[in-house]
Amino acid sequence: MSLRTPLGRARGLGSAKEGVHHWWQQRLTAVAMVPLVFWFVVSIAANVGADYASMHAWLKNPLNASLLVLLLAAVFHHAQLGLQVVIEDYVHCHAVKTASIVAIKLLSIALGVFGVVSVLFVAIGG
């Protein structure tokens, strides 16, 4: 039997007021990915069988390079948000949960930056 009031027992168990922002980010990245993935699939399908030089010329186009950078940013951010929700829901050890979320965030940033730099390297320099 507890001597705490119902309000005292419930404090700290409710919303942290962070979920709406996270939810909106996940929905916005999903909506952004719809036309970007459609563009990417159509573009790759149109270039099936193309040689290296024509694909290089395709990526040198500023519109294609910009859309590919946007797609990479949306995909990695969306994936990080989704994995964070899974970890928060199913990992119960606080230390493991924190370490996993930090690792997922760092990995998604690293892979996203690597992808963007690769696109820019081909589009601008190489």
Q: Could you give the percent of the chain with pLDDT greater than 90?
A: 80
Burial of 55-67, coded b for 16+ CB within 10 Å and e otherwise, reads: eeebbeeeebbeb
How many CB atoms are closer than 10 A to CB 23?
A: 12
Does 3 map to a domain? no
Does 6 map to a domain? no
Does 12 map to a domain? no
Band of residue 21 on the pLDDT scale cut at 50, 70, 90: confident
Q: Is 3's pLDDT higher than 80?
A: no
Does 108 map to a domain? yes
Does 87 map to a domain? yes
Does 64 map to a domain? yes
Rounded distance, CA 19 to CA 54, Å? 45
Does 34 map to a domain? yes
Band of residue 12 on the pLDDT scale cut at 50, 70, 90: low
Tens digits of residue pLDDT in 55-75: 999 999 999 999 999 999 999
Q: Could you write out the DSSP letters of every residue in 21-85?
A: HHHHHHHHHHHHHHHHHHHHHHHHHHTTT--HHHHHHHHHSHHHHHHHHHHHHHHHHHHHHHHHH
How many domains does the chain contain in total?
A: 1
CATH of residue 93's domain is 1.20.1300.10
Q: pLDDT at position 82, please? A: 95
Q: pLDDT at position 70, please? A: 97
- Domain carrying residue 23: 19-125
Closest residue by Cα to residue 27 from 82, 67, 72 = 82
Does 117 map to a domain? yes
Higher pLDDT, 12 or 76: 76
**Residue 72 near residue 115, CB atoms below 8 Å:** yes
Residue count (the chain): 126
Q: Is 115's pLDDT higher than 80?
A: yes
